[in-house]
């Protein structure tokens, strides 16, 4: 793969942010999903217990990952599945192509899989003459528009229905100007039914893989994964090695958390459990099931005590829906396969230089940590990344210089007090054009606060300091109380 450009989140977001009406629309659409999540969560009194269980299960599994992977391989193989291992994206793609060639498969249908996005599987297969059809409606829209998903659960959340209408008019022959979601969905249903029926192989992701039984679980609302895994004779399921859970009963915890967190549904429409290949009623095998276990940097994340918990992620997208930066800057501004808070933690672990601006695309409000169903301390990890980037000298010179300056000021209280006083005065008296101009990022899109008359320190000295009236009276009270207590 060619050297990838460095992502500057603020610059990448500039175009999206410039359209205020669209930014507001995007913000509202995601907040709507966040509110649905909240309503759903409030109906479960044991929600916090579920999060704690999920976190403990994942912590245990990631610690013993090698053992659970081996157990999974043994039981999956016993059930009749073929298990493949891939160290990186390239190995993964090569394995998929090999399976397809062995089965003379030319046309494949794919359901949503962030892992195959991560591996850039589609362009790879297309280069080798395979027709790849994304079958999730949102992903199909994005694929026809030659874009990438901007959200891991809602791939087309950045696209307006009129734009979908134009795309479908061009590719599926829907009526010009038609933008009714029901009509467009029906058109996609017809179009994709045909693709499912003609496909030679189906590719899916995996939500959970059960070590003890060797099975995989796939959760969808549309039913596309099930059609893709039930019509063509070959089913290939790609999964990151962190998708494992030890026991079948652990599914209860995760299926209760996943859809509630993702879209505010009590569970996805379909929760499908696959153990080995398709069989007829006599037990005769009628298809193939291939499972590809992919590392692609996950073991490296596991090495780091600071970022290990990021492997707990079940890809619900709740951290994106709640993130004030994501909601206003759009998924594409992250320039990463997984955007939002979890993406900003994961992406720099793969390539810190390329993704160095992402941990700063965060106000440290902590909302992501609050909603995360598996309790990943996301905002702590983002802060840890900033420290790490500074240590690796990956901060831009402007930020580095500013940090040095601030460090010096913080070490000299008298200087800090004087500077505080100066800036309070300056903010009050400086003419607007000198504050609100294109070089001052803090004056863009917002009004700076009206500076208070005095600093907190000045207020303290006056009201709580040794000579203040209140402190005198507090001392009085203290003197009176003490004898009683003894």
Partner 1 sequence: MSSAADAKQIILDRLRSQVVTAPPLPSLQNEDVITFADLQGQFCETSRSVGAACHVVHSPAELTTILNDLEPFRRARRIVSLLPQWVPGNTDLQNFDEPHSLRSLDWMIAPGLFGVAENGAIWIDFSSISHRASLFLTQYLAILVPAKNLVPHMHAAYERVGRAITQPFGLFVSGPSKTADIEQSLVLGAHGCRTLNVFLLANPEAE
Integer Cα distance of 23 and 1 in angstroms: 33
Where helices occur in 128-160 by DSSP H, the ranges are: 137-144
CB of 420 to partner 1, least distance (A): 46
Nearer residue to partner 1 within complex by CB, 259 or 338: 259
Nearer residue to partner 1 within complex by CB, 69 or 115: 69
- Per CB under 8 A, the segment of 50-58, 339-347, 395-403, 433-441 that binds partner 1 is 50-58
Nearest to 312, CA basis, from 261, 275, 363, 356: 261
Task: Give pairs for 183-189: CB < 8 Å, separation 24+.
Answer: 185/137, 188/137, 188/140, 188/141
Integer Cα distance of 279 and 441 in angstroms: 62
Nearer residue to partner 1 within complex by CB, 111 or 357: 111
Residue pair 339/326 in contact by the 8 Å Cβ criterion: yes
Q: How does strand 107-110 pair with strand 215-220?
A: unpaired
Q: List the one residue from 161, 353, 404, 412 that touches partner 1 (CB under 8 A).
A: 161
Nearer residue to partner 1 within complex by CB, 9 or 92: 92
Site for partner 1 in 305-364 (CB under 8 A): 308
Site for partner 1 in 164-223 (CB under 8 A): 164, 181-182, 184-186, 189, 192-193, 196-197, 210, 213-215, 221-223
Site for partner 1 in 7-36 (CB under 8 A): 29, 32-33
Give the gyration radius of the chain's Cα atoms: 27
Q: List the one residue from 20, 24, 74, 279 that touches partner 1 (CB under 8 A).
A: 279
Nearer residue to partner 1 within complex by CB, 70 or 470: 70
CB of 388 to partner 1, least distance (A): 18
Nearer residue to partner 1 within complex by CB, 210 or 362: 210
Q: Residue 175: left (phi > 0), alpha (psi -120 to 50), or beta?
A: beta
Nearer residue to partner 1 within complex by CB, 200 or 458: 200
Q: Give the CA-trace dihedral at 42, 43, 48, 49, to 10 degrees.
A: 170
For the purposes of burial, counting CB atoms within 10 Å of the CB of 451, is it exposed (0-12), middle (13-18) or buried (19 or more)?
A: middle
Site for partner 1 in 368-427 (CB under 8 A): none
CB of 213 to partner 1, least distance (A): 5
CB of 422 to partner 1, least distance (A): 49
Site for partner 1 in 97-136 (CB under 8 A): 135-136
CB of 279 to partner 1, least distance (A): 5
Where helices occur in 79-160 by DSSP H, the ranges are: 89-102, 114-118, 121-127, 137-144
- Per CB under 8 A, the segment of 13-21, 67-75, 126-134, 386-394 that binds partner 1 is 67-75
Integer Cα distance of 9 and 21 in angstroms: 20
* Token reading at 395: 């901060």
Integer Cα distance of 381 and 327 in angstroms: 20
Residue burial 13-35, b: 16+ Cβ < 10 Å; e: rest = beebbeeeeebeebbeebeebbe
Nearer residue to partner 1 within complex by CB, 15 or 186: 186
46 counts as binding partner 1 under rule CB under 8 A:
yes
Site for partner 1 in 249-268 (CB under 8 A): 249-253, 255-256, 263, 265-268
**How many chain residues touch partner 1 (CB under 8 A)?**
96
């Amino acid at each position: 793969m060619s050297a990838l450009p460095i992502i500057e989140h603020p610059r990448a977001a500039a175009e999206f942010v410039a359209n205020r009406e669209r930014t507001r629309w995007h913000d509202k659409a995601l907040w709507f999903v966040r509110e649905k999540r909240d309503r759903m969560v409030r109906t479960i009194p044991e929600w916090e217990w579920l999060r704690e269980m999920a976190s403990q299960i994942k912590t245990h599994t990631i610690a013993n990952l090698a053992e659970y992977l081996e157990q999974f391989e043994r039981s999956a193989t016993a059930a009749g599945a073929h298990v493949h291992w891939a160290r990186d994206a390239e190995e993964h793609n090569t394995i998929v192509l090999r399976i397809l060639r062995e089965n003379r498969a030319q046309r494949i249908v794919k359901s949503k899989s962030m892992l195959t996005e991560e591996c850039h599987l589609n362009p790879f297969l297309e280069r080798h003459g395979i027709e790849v059809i994304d079958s999730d409606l949102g992903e199909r829209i994005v694929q026809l528009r030659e874009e990438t998903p901007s959200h891991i659960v809602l791939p087309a959340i950045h696209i307006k229905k009129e734009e979908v209408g134009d795309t479908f008019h061009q590719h599926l022959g829907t009526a010009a100007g038609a933008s009714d979601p029901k009509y467009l969905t029906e058109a996609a249903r017809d179009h994709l039914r045909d693709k499912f029926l003609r496909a030679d192989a189906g590719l899916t992701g995996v939500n959970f893989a059960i070590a003890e039984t060797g099975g995989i679980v796939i959760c969808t609302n549309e039913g596309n994964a099930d059609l893709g895994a039930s019509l063509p004779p070959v089913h290939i399921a790609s999964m990151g090695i962190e998708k494992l859970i030890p026991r079948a009963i652990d599914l209860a915890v995760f299926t209760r958390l996943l859809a509630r967190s993702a879209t505010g549904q009590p569970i996805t429409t379909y929760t499908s459990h696959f153990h080995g290949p398709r069989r007829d009623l006599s037990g005769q095998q009628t298809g193939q099931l291939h499972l590809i276990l992919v590392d692609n940097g996950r073991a490296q994340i596991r090495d780091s005590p600071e970022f290990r918990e990021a492997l707990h992620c079940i890809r619900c997208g709740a951290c994106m829906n709640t993130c004030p930066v994501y909601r206003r800057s759009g998924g594409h501004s992250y320039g990463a396969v997984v955007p939002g808070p979890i993406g900003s933690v994961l992406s720099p672990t793969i390539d810190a230089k390329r993704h160095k601006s992402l941990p700063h695309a965060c106000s440290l409000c902590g909302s992501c940590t609050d909603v995360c169903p598996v309790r990943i301390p996301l905002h702590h990890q983002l802060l840890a990344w900033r420290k790490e980037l500074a240590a690796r000298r990956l901060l831009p010179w402007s930020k580095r210089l500013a940090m040095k300056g601030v460090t010096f000021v913080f070490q000299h209280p008298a200087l800090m007090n004087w500077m505080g006083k100066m800036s309070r005065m300056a903010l009050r008296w400086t003419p607007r054009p000198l504050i609100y101009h294109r070089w001052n990022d803090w004056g863009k899109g917002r009004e700076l606060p009206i500076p208070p008359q005095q600093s907190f320190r000045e207020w303290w000295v006056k009201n709580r300091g040794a000579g203040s009236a209140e402190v005198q009276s507090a001392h009085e009270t203290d003197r009176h109380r003490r004898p009683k207590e003894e």
